[in-house]
């Protein structure tokens, strides 16, 4: 709830010395590795020997989530030494350049993870958001040393370990018998062999995320699909995965979330999902799957509408047009989130169709959408704004649209719908639900159904106007 950067280093540590010993969870958006080390290291008093320092602050801390400049051996050592009750450790960094040895994580540092054996959840990620940097000083040996102390781990997330090969990843799978969640980002040496004998383990994986692992092929997914308890499968930006992988995914009876961004799949490949997994999916993302066309909608639903689906991402599909969105609207699926950004063929007709969706065939109760992203869609004009006003989209809370269309119109829409956040610069809407599946976006205000509010308060609309609105809806779906 405050900006760490406003504190001088020594004052910041002094402030935290006053923290309640009953604190069990701490998350800091950004803190330098040096400040963190000084914060956790007990100070030596003026009349104390260095062999008898003051007790550690935060003695009962169980969960620590930090974004830092560099993840280092010293940081891991300090955390392991002084936070003896830790069960959940999440560290992420985004270096602006390749770090020197003293400011990097090595095999020695990784060996000190979970010194007290209480960790259940571990996340170590080096992001490539700023610069293409990796953990180049960690290899299979480091993973091997870490795995010796991680037999009770339930969740492991590793990102940017470019020197770790199949040997290291297989060690994790065979050493951590209680593991149910595995995430690997930028696994540049991760291949199908890691999952070749996964049936030989006692694992019951429910969440698997393998992002930017470009050596994986359909065979890896086929082996993974032997885990019938999988509920979340994230294969974004695995460029060599194609239609055959969807046949294997279709056999997963409990799958709730499937992310296939950037995969080499086609309309016919998606039709495999309609025969099985599509009936249980709550979230589906096919963003950037360039081969998909309007037929992907009919391939997915094929007359068997999935009433469980709530989140659908169709962004960056160059061949997706208004016709597909019209079919989607006619399916009456009660979507809460629909993302269509950067689809050049999506235009005003799509907005009209979505605004006029009938979830219940007996009454027009308005679209169920809470999030709609149509940023940088090629066919959106000022006409679409007429369908973004009340009473349409009564439950809308987030709208992404290109602000350059007409700034005055956008501002007017924002003023008329105070509960709706309008994003005009291409920023992601709401929480990034794909990367923070454990977090739930909550709002500080009471949910308001604007359509009901509009009906009961009697907006300035005559009976004739109301009839015109309903006629528009009927004409659109005839």
Please say if the pLDDT value at position 1 is more than 90: no
Give pTM, 2 decimals. 0.87
What's the pLDDT at 401? 92
CATH label of the domain that carries residue 458 = 3.80.10.10
% of the chain exceeding 90 in pLDDT: 61
In-domain check, residue 460: yes
Q: What is the mean pLDDT of residues 6-13?
A: 76
In a domain, 294, yes or no: no
129-152 confidence digits (pLDDT tens)? 899 999 999 999 999 999 999 999
341-375 tens-digit pLDDT: 999 999 999 999 999 887 666 555 568 899 999 99
Q: What's the mean pLDDT when you consider all of the chain?
A: 86
pLDDT digits (tens, 9 = 90+) for 165-180: 999 999 999 999 999 9
> Taking 60 as the threshold, does the pLDDT of residue 53 lie above it?
no
N residues, the chain: 478
The reported pLDDT for the residue numbered 45 is 47
Within a domain: 415: yes
For residue 393, being part of any structural domain is answered with yes
- Of 243, 370, 248, the C-alpha closest to 233 is 248
CA-based nearest residue to 327, from 310, 348, 364, 302? 302
Task: Please report whether residue 245 resides in a domain.
Answer: no
Counting the structural domains of the chain, the total is: 1
Least confident interval from 17-31, 95-109, 155-169, 442-456 = 442-456
Task: Please indicate, yes or no, if residue 291 is contained in any of the structural domains.
Answer: no
Residues spanned by the domain of 347: 310-428+448-477
d(CA 95, CA 346) in angstroms, rounded, equals 38
How confident is the model over 70-80, as pLDDT tens digits? 999 999 999 99
Say whether pLDDT at 252 is over 50. yes
Mean pLDDT of 29-46: 79
Q: Is 374 helix (H, G, I), strand (E, B) or coil?
A: coil
pLDDT of residue 301: 81
pLDDT at 443: 37
Q: Could you give the percent of the chain with pLDDT greater than 70?
A: 84
Task: Compare 439 and 269 and report the one with higher pLDDT.
Answer: 269
pLDDT at 475: 58
In this structure, the number of other CB atoms found within 10 A of the CB of residue 50 comes to 6
**pLDDT for the residue numbered 477:** 52
Q: Do the domain assignments include residue 373? A: yes
Calculate the CA 361 to chain-centre distance. 33
Better pLDDT: 339 or 391: 339
Phi, psi dihedral angles at 114 (to 5 degrees):
60, 45
CA dist 382 and 68 (Å) reads 43
Residue 238 has pLDDT above 70, yes or no: yes
Please state whether the peptide bond connecting residue 391 to the residue before it is cis, i.e. omega within 30 degrees of 0.
yes
Strand partners, 194: none
C-beta neighbour count of 458 within 10 angstroms: 7
User: What is the rounded (10 degree) CA torsion for 171, 174, 179, 183?
Assistant: 40
Query: Mean pLDDT throughout 264-287?
Result: 91
Residue 166 in any domain: the answer is: no
pLDDT at 447 over 50: no
């Amino acid at each position: 709830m405050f900006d760490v950067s406003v504190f001088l280093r020594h004052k910041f540590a002094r402030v935290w010395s006053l923290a309640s010993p009953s604190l069990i969870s701490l998350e800091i958006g950004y803190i330098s590795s040096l400040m963190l080390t000084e914060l956790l290291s007990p100070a030596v008093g003026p009349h104390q020997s260095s062999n008898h320092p003051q007790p550690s602050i935060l003695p009962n801390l169980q969960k620590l989530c930090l974004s830092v400049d560099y993840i280092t051996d010293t940081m891991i050592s300090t955390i392991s030494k002084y936070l003896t009750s830790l069960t959940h450790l999440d560290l992420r960094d985004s270096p602006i350049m390749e770090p020197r040895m003293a400011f990097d994580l090595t095999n020695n540092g990784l060996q000190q993870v979970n010194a007290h054996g209480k960790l259940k959840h571990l996340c170590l990620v080096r992001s490539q958001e700023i610069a293409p940097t990796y953990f180049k000083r960690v290899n299979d040996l480091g993973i091997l040393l870490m795995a010796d102390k991680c037999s009770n781990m339930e969740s492991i997330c590793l990102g940017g370990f470019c020197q770790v090969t199949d040997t290291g990843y297989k060690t994790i799978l065979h050493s951590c018998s209680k593991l149910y969640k595995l995430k690997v980002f930028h696994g540049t040496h991760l291949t199908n062999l890691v999952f070749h004998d996964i049936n030989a383990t006692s694992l019951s994986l429910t969440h698997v995320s393998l992002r930017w692992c470009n050596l994986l092929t359909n065979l890896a997914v086929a082996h993974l699909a032997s885990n019938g308890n999988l509920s979340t499968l994230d294969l974004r930006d695995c460029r060599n995965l194609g239609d055959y992988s969807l046949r294997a995914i279709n056999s997963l009876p409990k799958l709730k979330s499937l992310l296939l961004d950037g995969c080499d799949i086609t309309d016919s490949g998606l039709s495999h999902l309609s025969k099985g997994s599509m009936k249980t999916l709550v979230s589906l993302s096919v963003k950037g799957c360039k081969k998909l066309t309007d037929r992907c909608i009919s391939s997915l639903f094929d007359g068997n509408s999935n009433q469980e689906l709530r989140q659908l991402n169709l962004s960056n599909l160059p061949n997706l047009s208004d016709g597909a969105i019209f079919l989607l609207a006619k399916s009456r699926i009660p979507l809460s989130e629909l993302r269509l950004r950067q689809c050049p063929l999506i235009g005003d007709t799509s907005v009209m169709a979505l605004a006029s969706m009938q979830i219940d065939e007996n009454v027009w109760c308005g679209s169920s959408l809470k999030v709609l992203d149509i940023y940088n869609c090629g066919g959106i004009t000022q006409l679409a704004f007429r369908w973004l006003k009340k009473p349409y989209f009564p439950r809308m809370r987030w709208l992404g649209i290109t602000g350059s269309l007409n700034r005055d119109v956008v501002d007017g829409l924002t003023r008329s719908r105070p509960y709706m956040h309008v994003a005009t610069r291409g920023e992601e809407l709401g929480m990034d639900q794909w990367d923070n599946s454990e977090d739930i976006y909550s709002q500080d205000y009471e949910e308001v159904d604007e359509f009901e509010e509009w009906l009961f308060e009697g907006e300035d609309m005559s009976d004739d106007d109301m009839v015109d609105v309903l006629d528009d809806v009927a004409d659109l779906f005839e």
